[in-house]
Structure 1
């Protein structure tokens, strides 16, 4: 690391910085460098590890390495604690690739791992704009795309009637 960038690592945002560096290298057409930064972010642990796993899976899919991408998803699913936001990104990635059954699994996993205060947002007046509701709505849309009947979580999704 050059002194020019050493100051970045004095902050607690190392995971974010590594993820940004990986995205920059990916955009620059340097996947090997991107993988290195993502591996470093994974090693830090925490929620950034989940974000890095999804970014790495996405990169592996782009490189035609589907087995390695699936391995990253398996690791993300098995690591504890499970954070909702990386699961949401995994769902979106699967949906973008037309794999709606897997997207549904990831949305369900994200919802199942919401923190109590995130679920409590569903009881507020602006619940339609809460993170929990955005996950419920995305899951509901995915279930509808699969032609599935409503379930209890679908019934919890709140439409934004203010628009």
Structure 2
């Protein structure tokens, strides 16, 4: 099944459970290359007030950035900030988006907002503090208490990356490619 066919099937599901499938259909249409259909679905999700694990405004901003509509993308991110969702994940996603764009100070602001939504005893605090720590390091800022909290998780991630790299270098070149021809 190609991406367009998948997107069409999700469109059909939209008619039955519109709120439940808007984000999936928008992602599928984006993957299929129909950014304008994805934008329409995300706009509808925003109007319906849907808050999925991936916030529609963040995905919409990402698509708008991809299309070179930076001002409109930033408007979506400002609107997200004004809604102040209880869930930290939209802020974390916005931080990831801005990090990928190389806008590290803006990414740090979003990661700070994600961490601010959590209780100090929340077990996921270090996960959200990790992106914040990485941006603070990239910006040359001194380590603070939250950075120290995220350090063990960073070490674990670094160990996993080292192990994967070691396994890849130990394999013969003909075993590096997966079934699709990619590692």
TM-score, structure 1 normalization: 0.79
Corresponding position: 1:19 with 2:23: yes
> Runs of 5+ in structure 2 lacking a partner?
1-8, 160-183
Assess if the C-alpha contact under 8 Å between 1:42 and 1:50 holds in 2: no
Shift of the 28–121 alpha-carbon distance from structure 1 to 2, 3 Å rule, reads: same
Change in Cα spacing, 1:49 to 1:153, as seen in structure 2 (3 Å) is: closer
What count of residue pairs does the alignment treat as equivalent?
146
Could you report, residue by residue, the CA deviation over 1:26-74 in whole angstroms, capped at 9, with x for unpaired residues?
1112111111100111122253397100001000000000000100110
Alpha-carbon distance in 2 for matches of 1:49, 1:61: 21
Deviation of the 1:112 alpha carbon: 0.1
For residues 109-124 of structure 1, the aligned pairs below 5 Å read 109-114=113-118, 116=119, 119-122=120-123
Residues 2-81 of structure 1: pairs in structure 2 closer than 5 A: 4-5=12-13, 6-9=15-18, 14-15=19-20, 17-48=21-52, 51-81=55-85
Question: How far apart in 1 are the matches of 2:86 and 2:71?
Answer: 22
Moved over 6 A (4+): none
Give the Å deviation of 1:150.
1.3
The structure with the larger Rg is 2
C-alpha deviation, 1:138, in angstroms: 1.6
Aligned to 1:139: 132
| Contact 2:50 2:56 (8 Å CA) reproduced | no
CA contact (8 A) 2:62 2:73 kept: yes
Where 2:79 maps in the other structure, the secondary structure is helix
Partner-residue secondary structure (3-state), 1:105: helix
List alignment gaps of at least 5 residues for structure 1.
Answer: 123-130
RMSD: 2.4
CA contact (8 A) 2:54 2:93 kept: no
Highest RCO, 1 vs 2 (Cα 8 Å, sep ≥ 6):
1
SS in 2 for 1:157: helix
Q: 1:4 to 1:141 in 2, by over 3 A?
A: closer
